[in-house]
Amino acid sequence: MGRRVGGATVSMDGIPRPVFTGQRTTTIEIHKHLRALILDSTLPPGTSLKQAELARVFGISRATVREAFRMLQEEGLIDAELNQAGRVREFDADELDQLYGARIALEALGVRVTTGRLTAAESAEAKQLLVDMERLQSENDMVRWGEVHRRFHALCMARIADPLARTVNSFSERSERYLRLYQVWHPQSFSDAHQQHMDILTAVQGDDPARAATLMAAHLARTATTVLRDLSPHSTHHAVLEAVAMVGGCKI
């Protein structure tokens, strides 16, 4: 048996309220707020979300909630249901395997083409992001931590362009809920990941693209294989293993 997640009934009247900065940004803020509540399991897998109820609780229009639902659905965080409702998606070992398999292959490519080609400004920003991640983790600000973490990975692949960069970012956003599970169930992972991030950046700043790719693949694969074992101990994660084999020289 794997670890169980979710299953609780959540009252929408009891969830945290968003902070609105302006009428034009309401949809973006509602999307960001609901996304954060799903990622930190305030709204656990299986939670039913009704547009009318959320519109009442947040004091906004149904149209705004409907658009936020559409964005969450595109990110794979909720499934649409009848009567203008949605449901927080269950964790899925097969989805995790496919997402991380794709990320390993694409991000290994991304760091290969970027190695030795970072600008001084990009290197300085990446170093500062490592400092920021440590601070945000100590402050338990995981929303900002996630944003900074994605930016760090993007900088390590700074020489890739659209549509590849957009595709990689999409996979990264969709896999963030599994990364959160890893961090909650394995809190020591923060210090391990920090060292891995430093090693990856050092490699990308150097002149050995194969080493940079191997380090990135191992970094992603450790997260994926650990959570896969937690969710589904007897499953075989074919996509992750095949992606690691493609990169070569990677131990997980």
Q: Say if residue 100 is in the same domain as residue 62.
A: no
Q: Say if residue 159 is in the same domain as residue 122.
A: yes
Q: Say if residue 145 is in the same domain as residue 194.
A: yes
Q: Say if residue 111 is in the same domain as residue 173.
A: yes
Structural domain contains residue 20: yes
Its pTM surpasses 0.85: yes
Given 88, 116, 147, the domain boundary residue is 88
Structural domain contains residue 238: yes
Give the model's pLDDT for residue 83. Answer: 77
Structural domain contains residue 243: yes
Pairing of strands 78-81, 85-88: antiparallel
For the chain, 252 residues long, give each residue's pLDDT as a single digit of tens: 454 455 557 888 888 888 888 767 789 999 999 999 999 889 999 999 999 999 999 999 999 999 999 999 999 999 988 778 899 999 999 999 999 999 999 999 999 999 999 999 999 999 999 999 999 999 999 989 999 999 999 999 999 999 999 999 999 999 999 999 999 899 999 999 999 999 999 999 999 999 999 999 999 999 999 999 999 988 888 999 999 999 986 766
Given 73, 88, 103, the domain boundary residue is 88
Count of the separate structural domains present in the chain:
2
Tell me, what DSSP letter sits at residue 12? G
Q: Say if residue 48 is in the same domain as residue 18.
A: yes
Q: What is the domain-level CATH number for residue 27? A: 1.10.10.10
Structural domain contains residue 36: yes
Given 88, 110, 135, the domain boundary residue is 88
Q: Say if residue 67 is in the same domain as residue 142.
A: no
Task: DSSP for 185-219, please give it.
Answer: H-TTHHHHHHHHHHHHHHHHHTT-HHHHHHHHHHH
Structural domain contains residue 19: yes
Pairing of strands 48-50, 78-81: unpaired
Q: What domain range is 55 assigned to?
A: 12-88
Q: What is the domain-level CATH number for residue 158? A: 1.20.120.530
Give the model's pLDDT for residue 1. Answer: 42
Structural domain contains residue 4: no
Alpha helix segments (H runs only) across the chain: 26-39, 51-58, 62-74, 93-114, 120-138, 142-156, 164-174, 176-185, 189-205, 209-231, 238-247
Asked whether 203 and 212 are in contact (CB, 8 A), the reply is yes
